[in-house]
Amino acid sequence: MQHAILRFGWVEPDGLNGLPRQMSETRTTLQAAALATSEAARETDPGFLWDFWYPAVRSEAIRGHRLVTAMLLEVPLVLGRTAQGHAFAMRDSCPHRGIPLSYGHFDGQTVECSYHGWRFEACTAQCVEIPSLTSQDKLKVDRVFAGHYPCEERDGYVWVYMTAPGTRVPENVPAAPALPVFSKNYKSAQLACELPSHIDHGIIGLMDPAHGPFVHQSWFWRSRHSIHAKEKQFEPIPYGFRMSPHSPSSNSAPYQLLRKMTGEGVTTTIDFVLPNMRLEEIHSGKLWFSSRATVTPIRRDLCRIDFVAAWNLFFLPVFLFRWFGKTFLRQDQQTMIRQAEGLKYDPHLMLIDDADRPAKWYFALKANLLEARRTGSAMAHPMTGPVTLRWRS
């Protein structure tokens, strides 16, 4: 798979005499995200955000004494569940000679390497036995650890806290993200799809408001002729931005249906939060729909969208939601597959106002976070207050 080089230019209408000024994006984060296929470029920073939770696999994938593999941020992982029911995530590599631990044996407590039988306690990754040692040997077995990562289950996913290579697990790891729900009883569903894209393209595709009329034309959603001017208010939130509560687009049939059902107004709020999360809440009277999409980097040229939704809309059965959701994701996926074809040849790209402003905020948030971590200072927010964006979609 070829890699994209993310080189964006953008046009800002803030030239001295009001003329657009072509700006070349030179910020280091974009260069850090720059990718190439050459061996030299493999050494470059792939632009991942470490020290965040990422969903690795669905909870149902780890059961019994099964060892399951996954990859996050180009780190191979082996996951499983102890006899007590705790999910664990280790680096899928034996610290002795590097053979994947997933070829080994798991007894519900310890993972035994398939090569020389070293055994590691699953949750701490601490070595408990090196079978070749004799009573003469001085090696302290309990000082040997395999790589391991904090692991929590939420909303049917096994989340792994991806600490940066060569760093220790911090003392205070925040709780893994949870999908907001607004009543005791609700239905929920999960969907996933892989995109042959760098994480940044996956994310800006996720927040892109202008592709709807072209990519998501469906009889049940909208036609391209319904395109019209929109004006949305955005505000800064920690690590991200919010499309302030508003009545959703009148050109989408499901919202019209919801309005008819409750006889009340519909409001929707959409947040984007670093590293990779889009959260949407829709409320109308007592009815609600809540969803979260995360774009998780697997490798620099591959990411995965995990979409989870919960709702108490009595008229929306799970199978119907899954059908709608799959249609949407397939449309995005097909577009990203085609985009990857174009990105192989290292094109220059553009971010335009206002439709690509959220993408610019994403890049700026990412750059500011990395800068704050580098310097130990507070993270600057790219937005100073509420902003109104206008586009047609």
Q: For Fe ion, which stretch binds (CB under 5 A), given 227-235, 240-248, 328-336, 371-379?
A: 328-336
213 binds Fe ion (CB under 5 A): no
Closest contact distance (angstroms) between CB of 114 and ligand FES is: 7
112 binds Fe ion (CB under 5 A): no
- Provide the 8-state DSSP code for 102: G
What token pair was written down for 293? 């999409």
23 contact partners, CB below 8 Å, separation of at least 6 = 9, 10, 11, 12
Provide the binding-site residues for ligand FES, judged by CB under 6 A: 94, 96-97, 99, 113, 115-116, 118
Among positive and negative, which fits the CA dihedral 143, 149, 155, 157?
A: negative
Work out what residue 390 binds among ligand FES, Fe ion, none; the CB cut-off runs from 5 to 8 Å by kind.
Answer: none
92 binds Fe ion (CB under 5 A): no
Query: Binder to Fe ion among 112, 152, 301, 332 (CB under 5 A)?
Result: 332
The Cα–Cα gap between 270 and 252 comes to 16
- CB-based burial of residue 187 (10 Å sphere; 0-12 exposed, 13-18 middle, 19+ buried)? middle
Work out what residue 332 binds among ligand FES, Fe ion, none; the CB cut-off runs from 5 to 8 Å by kind.
Answer: Fe ion
Q: Is 231 helix (H, G, I), strand (E, B) or coil?
A: strand
Instruction: Establish how many alpha carbons lie within 13 A of residue 337's alpha carbon, considering only the half-sphere containing its beta carbon.
Output: 8
Pair 367, 29: CB distance under 8 Å: yes
Q: Is 94 or 309 the residue whose CB approaches ligand FES more closely?
A: 94
Work out what residue 96 binds among Fe ion, ligand FES, none; the CB cut-off runs from 5 to 8 Å by kind.
Answer: ligand FES
Closest contact distance (angstroms) between CB of 8 and ligand FES is: 44
Q: Is 119 or 300 the residue whose CB approaches ligand FES more closely?
A: 119
Q: For Fe ion, which stretch binds (CB under 5 A), given 16-24, 96-104, 113-121, 330-338?
A: 330-338
End-to-end CA distance of the chain: 32
Q: Is 129 or 341 the residue whose CB approaches ligand FES more closely?
A: 129
Q: Which residues bind Fe ion (CB under 5 A)?
A: 332
